[in-house]
Amino acid sequence: MPLYYFVLKDGRQIIPDRDGEEFADRGAARDHAVAVARELMRNGSLHVHNWRLQVCDEYLWPCYELLFPSIDDSLSHLPFEYRRSIEHACRNTALLHDSIADVQRSLLQVTETLIRADQIMDRISFGASPSPARSA
Amino acid sequence: MTLPPEILRQSVTRDGEKISNACLAALSSSAMRLLKPHLIEMELTEGTVLWSSRGSTNDIYFPASGLISVVLAMSDGELVETASIAREGAVGPYFDPDQSDYLTTGIVQVGGHFFRISASSLISAANKNRQIRDLIGFCKDWLLVQAQQIAACNAIHPADKRFCRWLHESAQRMETANIRVTQELIAAALGVRRTTVTLIAQSLQNNGLIQYKRGKIAISDMRLLRAAACACCNVLNRRHWPSMRLRAAIPP
């Protein structure tokens, strides 16, 4: 049976289930994701509304992403258009979190590149100017 | 098997583990003389089923270094923990030897050293000694307190806080920060899926509360873990432990 991995995104961190689990097909993996999301959401606070659970195949390719508000029974009393607005807002918040995470990753890479560039420049300038030992 | 007296009476550390039962250690010599001929020392591995609703002998277990989980099996096959016992107490399907209709299942959640005695031998000794009668009463109370608190906890607290509560309590009672337990067994104890436990454990690890490898959880910061747990930690504390109550009841 194919292996599926589950990745929780809570807006601050990405939390992977590194063990994965075998399921007959994507539908069964999706049902499992829904059950896990319900367990994480049960008796929880409102901040879980920004959470998502991603289902990845055995090559870690994302095949499905579950937004917690889409299965939240505590919202079921609301009119359909309200629920859609909440889902829409949560999806946008999730996208914003993804964008912020991308920007943070890019900044980290730029910082690392600059540090490496500084180190190279230091080595070049050190090599160019004669050291006191050599000049002596 | 002959039991060396230090195993029963003292907290011996072996590989960083306490391997004595605190209830047995609290009993007087006269009470221990009644129990000692009937106690059998054994090593049990995690996942061992000690009793179940399908029936088994009515034995009482005194954990010396491991942890026993008392679970209820639901009709759909799911298991939910109603209590757990480590070296602070003793547990069996019933303390009454005449009872045979077991509702619960006893599973070794954390492997280790245990002492076993038949319920009939324990009751027979209790009829002759007040301390052993107290021990049985305190152990029954402890199971009841846990069942009541955990029922409320399961109903209103989120899975991550229950996980932290379970881990904190287990560490306190086993007196170790390193717990040999699989996520599958924790999932069964909390009545959630293994994936849910893994995601919570990973999140706690990211935040520096624990470190986990396959089959082992090391608590990095007990204070933070306690803070992350639900308020049930404040209720299920040492003052309810049978060993503590027994110590308070037995004059020095």
Partner B contacted by A14 (CB < 8 A): no
Picking from A23, A36, A41 by the largest number of B CB atoms within 10 A of its own CB, the best residue to mutate is A36
pLDDT of residue B10: 47
| H/E segment holding residue B82 | strand B79-85
> pTM for this one?
0.81
What is the rounded CA–CA span in Å between residue B199 and residue B160? Answer: 9
Q: What is the pLDDT of residues B186-229, one digit of tens each?
A: 998 888 999 999 999 999 999 999 998 888 899 999 999 999 99
Chain A residues inside the 8 Å CB shell of B203:
8, 10, 13, 15
> Per residue, what are the HEC states of B140-207?
HHHHHHHHHHHHHHHHHCCHHHHHHHHHHHHHHHHCCCEECCCHHHHHHHHCCCHHHHHHHHHHHHHC
Mean local confidence (pLDDT), B123-129: 94
8 Å CB contact of A42 and B199: no
What is the reported pLDDT for B236? 85
- How close, in Å, is residue A18 to chain B by CA atoms? 8
Residue B129 — very low, low, confident or very high, per pLDDT cuts 50/70/90?
A: very high
pLDDT digits (tens, 9 = 90+) for B13-44: 444 455 589 999 999 989 999 999 999 999 99
Chain B residue closest to A43 (CA)? B158
Q: B-chain residues within 8 Å CB-CB of A17?
A: 195, 198-199, 202
Q: How far apart are CA B129 and CA B151, in angstroms?
A: 34
Q: Provide the pLDDT for residue B13.
A: 45
Q: What is the pLDDT of residue A46?
A: 63
Does pLDDT of A134 surpass 70?
no
CB contact under 8 A, B195 and A36: yes
Would you state the pLDDT for residue A129? 57
Asked if ipTM goes beyond 0.85, one says: no
Residue of B nearest to A41 (CA): B158
Interface test with A, best of B154, B198, B205 (most A CBs within 10 A): B198
Per-residue pLDDT, averaged over B95-114, amounts to 86
Query: Residue A76: is its pLDDT beyond 90?
Result: no
CA distance B2 to B102: 31
Nearest Cβ partner of A36 from B156, B196, B202?
Answer: B196
- Average pLDDT of chain B to the nearest whole number: 87
Over residues B69-89, the pLDDT tens digits come to 999 888 777 788 899 999 999
Q: Strand A52-56 relative to strand B13-14: parallel, antiparallel, unpaired? A: unpaired
Mean pLDDT of A68-85: 85
Residue A53: closest C-alpha in chain B: B199
Residue B77 to chain A, least CA–CA distance (Å)? 16
- Mean pLDDT value across chain A: 86
pLDDT at residue A131 is higher than 70 = no
pLDDT at B166 over 50: yes
